Amino acid sequence: MTTRLNPYLGFRDNAKQALEFYQGVFGGELNLSSFGDFHASEDPAEVDKIMHGQLETPSGYTLMGADTPNQMPYNPGDNYSVSLSGDDEGELRGYWDKLVDGGTVTVPLEKAPWGDTFGMLTDKFGVAWLVNIAGDQPTA
């Protein structure tokens, strides 16, 4: 897998509807995972919310999005970030180390419930970044 850079959109309670709308606009395959799928929230009101959605379009676009957990701020207008993802751990950790210089870590880069290494930061210019390093995937 190559490293990819793409927009990551934040929603409060309507990520599923928004991502289905974008699928209708751009076409492609949409994969959705809820907080409940990964037991990633103790709040029963968040079980069915989207923890991660990814749309892969026939034109090669990738659009990701999720519902913002209730305990995190949600401000329409700045509810976007940039996602860096792939399986080259050295490359992605290198980007993380450079991006966090002068910035703020919001979620440490560490093992996530879905098996990957994941972190979030805001760089010194106020841009939010998500870094996801693919972990070993189970074999069937």
The CATH number assigned to the domain holding 28 equals: 3.10.180.10
Range of the domain at 103: 4-133
Domain assignment of residue 116, yes or no:
yes
Tell whether 40 is covered by a domain. yes
Residue 92 lies in a domain: yes
Residue 37 is assigned to a structural domain of this protein: yes
- Count of Cβ atoms closer than 10 Å to residue 25 Cβ: 11
On whether residue 139 sits in a domain, the answer given is no
Side-chain-facing half-sphere of 70: CA atoms under 13 Å: 11
Q: Is residue 50 part of a domain?
A: yes
24 falls within a domain: yes
- Count of domains for the chain: 1
* 23, HSE (Cβ side, Cα atoms, 13 Å): 17
Q: What is the pTM of this model?
A: 0.75
Give me the tens of pLDDT residue by residue for the chain, a chain 140 residues long. 689 999 999 999 999 999 999 999 899 999 999 999 988 888 898 999 999 999 999 989 999 999 999 888 888 878 889 999 999 999 999 999 999 999 999 999 999 999 999 999 999 888 899 999 998 755 55
Residue 63 lies in a domain: yes
